[in-house]
Amino acid sequence: MTLIQYEDYFYLYVLMISLIPAIILGVFEKQIKYYGMLLSVLMIIAIMGIGKLFPIFLLCEITLIKEYSIIRKKTDNKYLYYFALFCSMLPLIIFKVSLLTSSIKLGFIGLSYLNFKAIQMIIEIHDGAIEEVNIFEILYFFLFFPTLTSGPVDRSRRFNDDLEKKITRQEYLDDYLVAGIKHIVRGVAYKFIIAALINSLWMNKISTDITFLNALNYMYAYSLYLFFDFGGYSSFAVGTSYILGIRVPENFNKPFLSKSMKEFWNRWHISLSKWFGDYIYSRFVLSSMRKKRFKNKVIASHVGQMITMTTMGLWHGLKWFYIIYGVYQGLALVFTDIYERKSKFYKLHKKEKWFQYVQIIVTFHVACFGLLLFSGYLFNK
C-alpha cells in the first residue's frame, strides 16, 4: 500500500509510530541521523514505490555535485559552472515540458523541491561557500523525507550544521520534541479541520460559472483554503523534522496580516521566496550594478523583481495562468516599491494605526487576487 504524505490519518499513524525510535534516541542523547537516514529511505519507498526515475535522478545529481566540487578546486571557469548549473536544472525542465507535450510524466513527486537543493549546492560550490562535499551528508539532505513533497526549501549548509549538532536531553525535550509535537498538532488543525471544512462547506459549493460574485467568493475561499492546507503541510514537515533533530525553516508567518506585498512575500512560503530572492533577485541586481546595465539600483531592483516573480510563476508550471500569476506578483512588488518611495501620503501616515489597518485590508485583497489567478479558476473554460 502506497502512503500519501500528509494526506490522511493513516499516514499520520505510520509517522507517529516511526518517530518513536527517534524520540528515544533524542532523549538518551544519541545521534538520530543514522536512524533518520534509514527511516527516510523506507518512507520514500512507501510514498513513491520502487521506481527507476528517483534513483537515477539522485545518482546523477549527487555525481554532478561531487564532480563539480572537484573541478571547482581546479578552476572557476564560468562556462563549466553554467554547464553544471544547467545540468542540475535539467530534470525539472524535462518534467515541466513533459507535462505539456507528453502523456507520460517524466518526473516524480517532490522533484521540484529536490531540484532546488541541487541548484543551491552547485551555486554555493561555485561561490566557495561549500568547500567540501560529504556523500553521506548530501544523500541525507536529498533523502530527508519530511520536506520531500512540500518543502520547506532547506539549505545544505544549514542542514549539515543541524546534523552535526550535539543536542542535550533537556534541549531535545524542550526545543525539538515539544516544538515538533506543537507543529504537528497545528498541522492537523489546519489541514484536516479548517482546510477540510473550507473545501467541503464553502469552496466546493461555488459555481464554476464565472461571474463577478462567484469569482469574488472563490477568491476568498481558495485563498483561505490554500493557506490552511499548505500551512498544514508545512507545519507537519517542520514538526517531523524537529523530532528528527533537524530544525528546518518555517514557511508561513501570518501572511494575511501583511501591510504590503513585500512584507507578504516575507511571510508567505518564506523558504521559497528567500530562495528565489537569494539566488535570482539579489544576484541579478548585484550583477546589473557591477555591469552598469541600468542607470540606478532602483530600476535594477524593479527588473529583478519582475524576472524573479515571473520565474517563480514558471516554476509552478508552464500553463499560462501561472505565468500571468508570476507577472502579476512582480508588478505588485514594483508598484508597492514605487508607492512607498514616492507617495507623500504614505510617508505621512505609515506609522498611524488606522492607516496600517487599511494597508492590511488592501494587501490582503491584492494577495488574494493573485491566488485567484494562481488557482486557474478564471481560466477554466
d(CA 336, CA 60): 42
d(CA 276, CA 252): 16
3-state secondary structure of 207: coil
d(CA 123, CA 161): 19
Catalytic residue, chosen from 183, 269, 302, 316, is 316
The residue to which cell 499513524 is assigned: 13
d(CA 360, CA 259): 5
For residue 316, indicate whether it is catalytic.
yes
Q: Which three cell numbers stand for residue 219?
A: 477568491
d(CA 14, CA 10): 6
Residue pair 150/240 in contact (Cβ under 8 Å)? The answer is: no
The residue to which cell 518512507 is assigned: 43
Phi and psi for 207 in degrees, rounded to 5?
Answer: -65, 145
The residue to which cell 525553516 is assigned: 249
Residue pair 26/177 in contact (Cβ under 8 Å)? The answer is: yes
Helix, strand, coil content of the chain in percent (nearest 5): 75, 0, 25
Residue pair 334/305 in contact (Cβ under 8 Å)? The answer is: yes
Residue pair 87/64 in contact (Cβ under 8 Å)? The answer is: yes
> Which of the residues are catalytic?
316
